[in-house]
Structure 1
Amino acid sequence: MHMCGRFSLELDESKEIWDIVRAVEEKHKAIKTGEIYPSNDVPVIYSPDSDDIDYDAMTLGFHGFKKGQLLINARSETVTEKKTFAKAFKSTRCVFPTTGFYKWEANKEKFLFTEQDSNAVYLAGFYKRFEDGNRSIILTTAANESMQQVHDRMPVILPKEFIDQWILDEDFAESFIKQRMPQLVIQRI
């Protein structure tokens, strides 16, 4: 069962995403682009101080319960009840700027999912400070009609205009994870 952990950062496809990646690189280091995997450092939009919105690089995946295990997804339906996730979801939400995400069908065929009317796809998540720095996780929800033929889960996708609210407003975030997700464009890779 493949979870939602691989996404694309194709900078030539989206000026919007290119600008975010460049802003992160100015502060830190080069960001891997192309196909992104769990454990990579990825650009995120977040709030360092509960007021301002900023960009940073964070490792994709929380440390798991066993050595070497990575937790890359949290189910939106249970995120507020799970000890591992509840506090971070409540207080340190973030957004992953992408140009789409990948899923595999049971027969190992790979698909790219993108938004119908934008080259940018914003995935909702949250982060937590570990001894080795901030680590981030992607929220998932039940797949809608555009995803169901490939997978039964999909990332929580945020419209660009809700990014600040997602990060700064806990009530908004709790209500947003119950919303229907947009219909996506599916491409066999």
Structure 2
Amino acid sequence: MCGRYTFEPESSEEIKRIEQLAEQAGYQPKRGEVFPGDKTAIVIYAKNQVQVAAMPWGFPAFSDRPKQLLINARSETVLEKNLFAESFIKRRCVYPTSGFFEWSADKKKFIFNYQQKNRPIYIAGFYNFFNRQTHSILLTTQPNSSVAHIHDRMPLILEKKAIKSWLTDLDFAKKYLSYPMPELFSRQL
């Protein structure tokens, strides 16, 4: 599971540019540590082009707890779940991040990123409309060896060169659901 991540424009030129594009489009994405429910920068494909928008992270849960959010979807079953399948097929997105957090079984917090700290991590996701407002959700997958010793899930990470294909090519996106994930660097906070 990915329960938080960072969006730090000062950490990389790419993240800084994404924030600028979001602001130019009239959005104010959350900076720093991003929590479920925060309005976050998202890369989407709309009007025949890749765009930056901002939307809350998490689908409203269908329960008696109105503040509860569904923040992750399993890549292995996304096409089998009625709540997720149509959104995945029609409205994929990408979360630009500076890294993500996981907690170990003994509640220690770790941050994951690439060795080269200024390289963004792009996380695959999708979005949908709830009460005429967009909400996004990110995808998780089986962890590789760099994450498995801390947690039993990890985000589905895209290489930068795969972003447009993820957004526009459904066959590519379906295949990518089972791609091996890159090795990451972690440190305890």
Instruction: Give the alignment's TM-score, normalised by structure 1.
Output: 0.95
Flag structure 1 segments of 5+ consecutive residues without an equivalent.
Answer: none
Range that drifts further, 160-169 or 23-32: 23-32
**Deviation of the 1:130 alpha carbon:** 1.3
For 1:18-37, list aligned pairs within 5 A. 18-37=16-35
Flag structure 2 segments of 5+ consecutive residues without an equivalent.
Answer: none
Aligned equivalent of 1:151:
151
The CA distance in 1 between the partners of 2:132 and 2:102, in whole Å, is 29
The alpha-carbon distance between structure 1 residues 29 and 45, as it changes in their structure 2 partners (threshold 3 A), is closer
The CA distance in 2 between the partners of 1:153 and 1:48, in whole Å, is 30
The CA distance in 1 between the partners of 2:115 and 2:168, in whole Å, is 27
| SS of corresponding position for 1:152 | coil
Code of the residue aligned with 1:81 in structure 2: it is E
Code of the residue aligned with 1:127 in structure 2: it is Y
Aligned equivalent of 2:180:
180
**Deviation of the 1:132 alpha carbon:** 4.6
TM-align CA RMSD:
1.1
The answer (yes or no) to whether the contact 1:24–1:56 under 8 Å persists in 2 is: yes
| SS of corresponding position for 1:44 | strand
Aligned equivalent of 2:82:
83
Alignment partner of 1:65 is 2:71 = no
Code of the residue aligned with 1:163 in structure 2: it is I
- State the number of aligned residues: 186
For 1:39-188, list aligned pairs within 5 A. 39-49=37-47, 51-66=48-63, 67-117=66-116, 119-188=119-188
Identity of aligned residues (%): 42
Instruction: Give the alignment's TM-score, normalised by structure 2.
Output: 0.95
